Chain A
């Protein structure tokens, strides 16, 4: 080989050194550019990578019953995420089987995650149970690309379902987030029941926190910067309800799946011990991610399980109106407790009105006891003839009928207590007459009330004239410590005199004792007073009503039971009312035969020519809210 001489070697060496230095210098300048001049640009990028500033919502408040039993609480749920770039596909089968996902579906989800981003975590399986979660978490080190997120969801540990009381949560939509500063997209907010009405109290405040995440999207716990003060999110307020878990659960069991409503209330203050609208929905299936199938089911179900019948089923009160007719009659001076009205079996005014009570002479007390229609037709006729329809309607409203009660559940319907302007509206001005009013005296016709309204009016009878505001929440606990008693006003109805109530009480007590089904209703030592009713229904089987209170001399509880299409109130609704009263007053029930009756009860088929008492079949717009 031709060797290079020394000078030549040194020249070549310098050329090579020159090339090396130039290329090295290029890299070195690049390093200076990135590390020194672009530091300001990359520093926040790495912070953003490693630290996530997250607005966090405080925990939603817990809901307790009156005895401190937990009714609604929060449960952590876990979501599995996947970061495709780090994921090892040889784990497919194993993870799919742990998550209990079909392998085809599993592959679809991975493909979807890949399309979203190969480097960012996507949800692989939302809200998985704790078992699979802990299995995956333990093996996390050998499952690259798999990560977890934790969220809260509502949990219902109670034996009471009370779905219409609690209500459900849903993710806030765009409009709702724009309406409030403290709601972010995707936050869950109350959509019905207490969750809706008390949402501002229950919902935790917003705070901020930094947490560290790695490239796999796994949160590595909270990170506190010494210089940054983080804001802890205030947790939501807890609520203590007036509800009694046991009574509520028992009422739900008695109502079963048939359409209806039951209200158990303390007449002294309006505190609700139980509130049942049946059928109800399974809140646990509405708590997590949307179960579309179930959601569609309950929205299309002909039994309308989402509809709260306690506050919104607006139907004629039937004979349960009679005690109030008596009170108003006495107050107006149209009758005295001794006024006698003869029942001949039919009341004749332009047409015949049937009276199913045994023929004979009736005073107020006995007419209530045997539910004689004649007595109240007579009374209503007098009022109508004297042009006192509006006065009558005013008194009924004083008692809480035909207007919203102010219950803390929302979605209340006002019902209808017709006065002359309402009659004008329904029948046309001057197009109605005496014949259209007689029926109102026995709670039929263009007259409708809700179960909760009847509970308020019955409380008035029981507590001597105090109008209560029915309510479910008694206390709010702020920050888990300070308890605030929530005010629910009670206002006296001035025109009610204690003395005037006596014949009414006696009549209602006798109504239970003398009922043809008194064996189902009577618990002698409890002195149950009550009134059944059957609301005529031109569109199907009649609705059964029961309203009652006990004990007669010192009423502690008011019960209203409404059975939609249940037929006669005495056999459909009253036995349930009797059992509920017994449960509240004695803490237990030992009349299995009544429970058996309730369970076995099947309403009779609707009677074709039942409509005798309704002379004009007016479609009362049930769903129209009063102005």
Chain B
């Protein structure tokens, strides 16, 4: 266990130190990855996710998940250009994962692999057909300011290229750098802006910050839309590569209720049909069948400054049914209450603590996991 933790820690440190320069730059803006909830990222990862699941449970899993498009992109960065990007919908909606399973003594207990496809992914605003129209309407006022101020100082400069250059250098800082406030511009440029904007009482405003806020708000509206996935996965026994189970899963999530300026509740439903080994019969087969369904709500609390989810609390109920292969003294169905508390440690690292309560057995279980997303690996 110590070895695995040490290797994982080194892995995170190595990758996160590489990512730092771009992370600082991008923190100015709300991007797809950093405003997605941890629950969403567990359902569909954009790039890479590494997870240590059920660290305190009897069956530990070391999981690597990736988006197929992210893998393709590593070998051909040109696929990211918009006209290629749109051709790769299947790959972008596909996730694969590989698990290394360990028993309670941290010994090899088999492997598993899975494939997941997003049949409805309205959260993927990158290809949303209405995104541009919505954004253009939202940004119209700021574009008018840019055009009218530009015309005003271009007229003042006339054919004087040095003067035009000076105005333009100052104004470009205002347009592109959110730390440059109106009050830090030259008096001449301030006067030009004041003469073109009807009401400008705030001397501390930033053009770049305003347009980034507008963009972030448009993106936010997509982060609450429906995501519906279907998946298939299989596991092997610890002593070889014979299938021990076959699972088919469908899961959907969407934001339902805004509970405050910086929090909302999203629903989450999941159904899994499993073909398992009937251990009462000789040999290995997949004749035991089990239906597991889970439904509930995930309450997401965001940082008020940058809208990044920082704490999530998920409450669900689980219903299990065994239609075929019921063991003696086993309940045909059961019902449990579950709670998962997710804490965001850094931009990329989440720690989920899962708590299950068996209503009939009156048992309480706790599972601690560790998950990290490596979105920046998929980028330049």
Q: Decide whether A and B assemble into one complex.
A: no
